[in-house]
Amino acid sequence: MRSISIHLVVAARPNMMKIAPVFQKLKEKSWAKFKLIHTGQHYDKEMSNVFLQDLQLPSPDFLLSVGSGTHAQQTARVMERYEEVCIQDNPDIVIVAGDVNSTMACAIVAKKLQKHLAHLEAGLRSFDRSMPEEINRILTDSISDILWTPSRDANEQLLKEGISPDSIDFVGNIMMDSFEMLRKKIEACSTLDDFGFKHKKFGVVTLHRPSNVDDPNSLKNIIETLSRISREIPLVFPVHPRTRERLEKNNLLDKLNKMQSIVLTQPLDYVQFMSLVKSSSAVITDSGGVQEETTYLGIPCLTLRETTERPITVTEGTNRLVSIENLEANLKTLLQGGCVNARVPEFWDGKTAERVVESLERFCQRKRML
């Protein structure tokens, strides 16, 4: 049997969670020869190394060390550096995940070098083109040969955009595979003790979207609201580097540090973070992945955004889109009543990586590569 050479691309924290389960499943297949490419979009220890280790990913075969910059700088650096690797290493298939700048950059490089391109987590749309991720999603999907979707509404969206049905495969939500892969560790983790939250009600906060943290007034308003909320329920807030920078710049970090009922931490590793979320009474976030994880775990989630590219977390799950004006009222209602009628969406079952690898094998057979 011929073997297929595959590049698995990671760049930022959320990509690592998506690629890790696929990496583990591919290991079982003798036909798959694969390499891990890390663009280095996230480079802090807490944002990268700790995640790779936690998710049982090895050191990358190629580390492109692109770092931060404007969108154009970051995208251009990824393209230049990945192009060299892609030419030199000449993979048959490139797998990209999610919607970060590196996802789109590597997708364009791979396709222009006429590689087969697969997008894991395809078909999500917020319909808000002011979000950089929306541009990354649309562009990546439009040139992918295999589009792996997390929910059926994503299939419908791709069909509306004229993508051939043969290219689309509904595989389910890969983030649940990461959770199941590490469930034992998550359940045995001592983070709750470390923060003094064992047997207590508490909330978790994560914020990093430009729409919330880049505007000083909006950031100040959020911090004041969190301060009021923390008088009702203590909060733990792992601070993303982008948010830390903005808090410091606007003299809000000291203020926040002095609030007794808000515990500020560095970004947590995956196991610690999931163990907190799993035991929390509610989560306040603007992340994409956290909306899905809370739906999976049945934890009320308040998303500080006007739109979501994951509407199924609202229609079927525990997610509510809120504004800073109505956050407190919504939280109160959720803490009293919980999330009635919420359920876990179809194929969010920890078996997505298996379906991804089966789909990949079928693609290779169809193309007579295997």
Nearest distance, CB of residue 1 and ligand UD1, angstroms: 37
Residue with Cβ nearer ligand UD1 (230 or 319):
319
Structure-block tokens of residue 231: 């008088």
**Token code pair at residue 107:** 């997708």
Q: Are the C-beta atoms of residues 107 and 144 closer than 8 Å to each other?
A: yes
Longest dimension (CA), the chain: 64
The residue among 190 and 251 lying less far from ligand UD1, judged by its C-beta, is 251
Contact status: 44 vs ligand UD1 (CB under 6 A)? yes
Out of 7, 38, 42, 208, the active site residue is 208
Residues between 216 and 245 that touch ligand UD1 (CB under 6 A): 240-242, 245
Q: Where do we find the tokens 């729409």?
A: 211
Which residues does 252 contact at the CB level (< 8 Å), separation at least 6?
219, 220, 223
Nearer to ligand UD1, 12 or 222 (CB): 12
Backbone φ and ψ of 93, nearest 5°: -135, 140
To the query of whether residue 38 is one of the catalytic residues in this protein, the response is no
Strand partners, 146: 118
Q: Residue 338: left (phi > 0), alpha (psi -120 to 50), or beta?
A: left
Q: What is the smallest separation between the CB atom of 106 and ligand UD1, expressed in angstroms?
A: 12
Tell which one of 21, 32, 39, 41 touches ligand UD1 (CB under 6 A).
41
Residue closer to ligand UD1 by CB (options 47, 259) is 47
Q: Does residue 64 contact residue 83 with C-beta atoms inside 8 Å?
A: no
Exactly one of 7, 14, 115, 319 binds ligand UD1 (CB under 6 A); which one? 14
Question: In the bound complex, what is the minimum distance in angstroms from residue 101's beta carbon to ligand UD1?
Answer: 4
Interface with ligand UD1, residue 68, by CB under 6 A: yes
Region binding ligand UD1 by CB under 6 A among candidate stretches 9-17, 20-28, 79-87, 342-350 = 9-17
User: Which of these ranges, 1-9, 94-102, 147-155, 191-199, lies near ligand UD1 under the rule CB under 6 A?
Assistant: 94-102
Cα-trace Rg, the chain? 20
Verify binding: residue 42, ligand UD1, rule CB under 6 A: yes
Closest approach of Cβ 220 to ligand UD1, in Å?
19
User: What is the nearest approach in angstroms of ligand UD1 to the Cβ of residue 305?
Assistant: 12
The least CB distance from residue 255 to ligand UD1, in Å, is 21
- Out of 39, 101, 155, 212, the only residue in the binding site for ligand UD1 (CB under 6 A) is 101
Give the angle 267-268-271 at the CA atoms, nearest 5°: 155
Query: Does 13 help bind ligand UD1 (rule: CB under 6 A)?
Result: yes
Q: Give, for 213, the enclosing helix (H) or strand (E).
A: helix 210-213
> Is 132 one of the binding residues for ligand UD1 (CB under 6 A)?
yes
Distances (CA, A) of 172 to 120, 149, 193, 336, 346: 10, 6, 34, 31, 7
Separation CA 165–CA 346 (nearest Å): 19
Minimal CA–CA distance to 52: which of 68, 37, 73?
Answer: 37
The reply on whether position 100 binds ligand UD1 by CB under 6 A is yes
Region from 12-20, 152-160, 298-306, 336-344 binding ligand UD1, contact rule CB under 6 A:
12-20
CA neighbours closer than 13 Å in the CB half-sphere of residue 6: 23
Does 76 contact ligand UD1 by CB under 6 A? no
In sequence order, what DSSP letters do the residues of 131-159 get, joined into one string? Answer: SHHHHHHHHHHHH-SEEEESSHHHHHHHH
Binding residues for ligand UD1, rule: CB under 6 A, are 12-14, 41-44, 47, 68, 99-101, 132-133, 208, 240-242, 245
- Give me the active site residues, please: 208
